[in-house]
Amino acid sequence: MDNKGEAYWKATIALIRNVLIVWFIVSYLLGIILAPALNSIHLGGYPLGFWFAQQGSIYVFIALIFIYAKLMGKLDEKFDVQED
């Protein structure tokens, strides 16, 4: 594989890693581990830890889909491998 191909895959793996880190923080840390600490803060009448576990994580996951698609499109254009 040439250097351009290696750079493309390294950038792709880095993007996927970063998206998975955000997913982990939101779903596991904020939704489970830190939920009791976040429950002292209220959002819309509900404890923040509960909100993250029930609603917030879903909103973040949907946002991650669009962010990933946009960044991956830019990455494809940068390395000239985009679809027509």
- Return d(Cα 51, Cα 26) in angstroms, integer: 11
Of 4, 21, 10, 2, residue with least CA distance to 60: 21
* pTM for the full predicted model: 0.83
Q: Which domain holds residue 68?
A: 3-78
- Asked whether residue 21 is domain-assigned, the answer is yes
- Asked whether residue 30 is domain-assigned, the answer is yes
- Asked whether residue 84 is domain-assigned, the answer is no
Number of domains in the chain: 1
Q: What is the CA radius of gyration of the chain?
A: 17
What's the count of helices (H) and strands (E) in the chain, helices before strands?
Answer: 4, 2
Q: Each residue of 15-64: pLDDT tens digit?
A: 999 999 999 999 899 888 999 999 999 988 889 988 888 888 899 999 99
